[in-house]
Amino acid sequence: MRRPRDPRRPLAALLAGLAALAAAGCGYGFSHAYRARGGAERVHVRAFQNLSSDPELGAALTAALREELARRGASAGPDAPVAIEGEVGAGEGLPSSVTGSTFHVVLNARARLVSEGKVVGSLSVRREGDHLGGADPLETEGRRALELRRLAADAAREILEAFEDRDARAPAAQGAAGR
């Protein structure tokens, strides 16, 4: 004797299919390899000259650029044919609120993409942010340093996007769109 069919079975199959479809769109995907202008796949970041009173700002921007390149699989040592170099400075933290509890800080960076001794591209980046003052000057200065590090990471992403070779990426994007 045959068992009667469960009326909930098609609904369960539909829900399972929708769950699989939602999981497929979870945000993960394939990305293209980073290529700098001129088609270079590996880029070295030289230490940025620090033009500010903050002792570690040049190192923070250099480290942020190297970290972003490593994420994109394009980090290289000093023997790479292409390098990014430049200068970074910071504006003094002025109060940005009436009570003086919030301070405004500005990061200015100039970056150059150098290939075989020639400047291939240059860019000026300005980032601004606010940070809270602390209970004492030492805490306020620590919060300022953290805000400058965050601004350096934002500037690093913008610099790499500006120096990316858009033409090398275009054929792959067109091929995917034509499918």
Q: What digits encode the pLDDT tens for the residues 127-154?
A: 999 888 888 888 888 888 999 999 999 9
Which range of 47-61, 93-107, 130-144 scores highest in mean pLDDT? It is 47-61
Q: Which helix (H) or strand (E) holds 16?
A: helix 9-24
Cα 163 from Cα 87, distance rounded (Å): 16
Q: Determine the average pLDDT of the residues in 99-119.
A: 90
Higher pLDDT, 70 or 135: 70
Q: What angle do CA 118, 123, 124 make, to 5 degrees?
A: 140
pTM of the model: 0.72
Which of the pair, 137 or 108, is modelled with greater confidence? Answer: 108
Average pLDDT over residues 105-126: 94
Give me the residue spans of the domains in the chain: 44-167
How would residue 122 be classed by pLDDT, with cut points 50, 70 and 90? very high
CATH of domain 44-167: 3.30.160.150
Q: Which of 65, 56, 67 is nearest to 141 (CA)?
A: 56
The rounded distance, in Å, linking the Cα atoms of 115 and 78 is 12
Helix (H), strand (E) at residue 48: none
Backbone torsions φ then ψ of 118, nearest 5 degrees: -110, 140
CB hemisphere CA count around 175 (13 angstroms): 6
Calpha distance 129→115 (Å, rounded): 33
Name the range with the highest mean pLDDT among 9-18, 107-116, 133-142: 107-116
